[in-house]
Chain A
Amino acid sequence: MNYIKNKIASATGVVSSLLVNNAYANKYNLPEPADPVVQQIFDLHMMTSLIATIIMVIVTLIVVYSLIVHRKDKGYVPDQNFHKSWFGRWAWLLVPIFVLGVDFAIAKSAHHTLDTIFDEHAEADMTVKITGSQWKWSYEYLDSGVKFTSNLNKDLTPEDEFYLRDVDKPLVLPVNTKVRLLHTTTDVLHDWWVPAIAFKVDAIPGYITETRTEILREGTYRGQCAENCGTGHAFMPIVVKAVSKEKFAEWRDQQVAAAAAAAAEASSDKEWTMEEMMAKGEEAFNKTCAACHQVTGEGVPGVFKALKGSAKATGDVKVHIQTVLNGVAGTAMAAWKDQFNDLEIAAIITYERNAWGNNTGDVVQPKDVAAER
């Protein structure tokens, strides 16, 4: 209730703050651009807004003047031949010419930005492939091979400033670097929208679309999925951390090293114990799979199958592994083979087979998964 009271108090401030925009620093406008093309778009937006305002002022003035003066209760006598005056005869031509002029001005000013956006030969210093899936983003730095998945930070509540705008692992990009962003998805349409640093383009399953960014200032930029992708559409935030080139290089090298270590671990012959696997598996499951199957493993009846007591999660291990690796065609259950290495999959499966009373006692090893790939 306190929350509501606060909000009502601030709502009264809204009207005044609309007029004095700076107080809220673009709380009611497009965010401050941090990319040259977005800057152009921002200027274009301000210009078309201005034209829109001017047109509305003109229209309103004409109508209001007429409403005040040309009324019957003022005894105004209608001019029955107004539509036959010179203006009445030529308006059909004059008005279109005038509007065409304005249209032309608008189209002309968009022209330059359009050319930049559609520049087929634009150069880039690095390329990041962004893959949307229900309901998270995966990033792959094509130049260095670094890849990871970014999930919603579920710990925040509606009172927090970054509620639904925070992730576990942000995308890290260097400033003043031309980055090509390739967009695609594994299931339905998504749209990677971080308004301050790049205009948006839909991610389409089976196709690759492209945007670019060249971040001008260090900082954290936030956005979220902008194309309806189903149940979790509101829960697919994007966080981009822009850092200096040096810091970025450092970060990247760390990531490459960590990935190499993880791969080595996964392919080592080590026999993993139940405890190790359950711990690893629980973490990965809660992060990724619980979005649908819930932390309780009970799923959502009729929509997402329960794993607690499910036939697959307690039956043949091979079938279980296959399901997780390749997904279930025609459902929201995606193929996970590209997102996780053998160790992770083995851990998740071990967890599923032993948590929530699925006490099968199986400990799945990475090599079992490798055999099914």
Chain B
Amino acid sequence: MNTRWSRKDLLGLRELSADEINFILETADAFKEIGTREIKKVPALRGKTLINFFIEPSTRTRTSFELAAFRLSADVINISASASSLTKGETLKDTARNLEALHADILVLRHSSAGAPQFLAERLKSSVINAGDGAHEHPTQGLLDLYTIREKRGKIANLHVVIVGDILFSRVARSNIFGLTKLGARVTLVGPSTLVPREFEKLGVTVSHKIEDVLPSADVMNLLRIQHERQRKEYFPGIGEYTALFGLTRERAKLLKPECLIMHPGPINRGVEIDSEVADGLQSVILDQVTNGLAVRMAVLYLCGGIAS
């Protein structure tokens, strides 16, 4: 029985077929089971070396990749921007070629520039996994969101998924849009027109600037984090106004169907994009997303890293 996977890299969901996405999700099912074992470790990637190369800060994604690699018995090295020779003026390509010269098999890259993972993937024999590049894509986040929806609702096709927030700057939104539309979901983007321009409709989604309109028909609400560190004044007047217009408050949450899932990629700004008690409520699957992220990343590492080079 052979796989329907032949890529050494995972750069984004845009270039994947629906079949490839489904295959990753099915593989993740198998890896999720390992979390229930007494010994949560399998030898699938024994002898392989993974380098977590994070040019931008991240705790959750880096930890998730690290733990996924440990559970597959790979050896892991973590490199952060401040500790790397990039601060000494070395180019990204030179740094990466040095890492490859150390026989790294898998490079997990988080970078502030869109396209950095693709640039390296085309030049290295190692597998390159995109852990978030600029405002481009964050494919493993997209996959874990798909996995969580599929697990909780039993399907993805024909569900109405609403993504709220700073779509313009969000790589999580882009990966979700590509993945969801390929698997047949109906996607609505909600937010201020400065952050959710109509142009997104070219991707096969609907744009709305009024959250109340979409709440009653939503099967999934995915609230994106308002990224303080990326915001500039001109996009919206203030956090308070954003919450007043687009926050998933306790009052607004009452308009949702009882079976509607509430998701958030984290870290949460409690009281900004989502009220504390909504984030902790029965409809929230925010912590399931974290658990599923581990299984999805194990699947991605296994599939990309296990391919004979």
Q: Do A and B come together as binding partners?
A: no
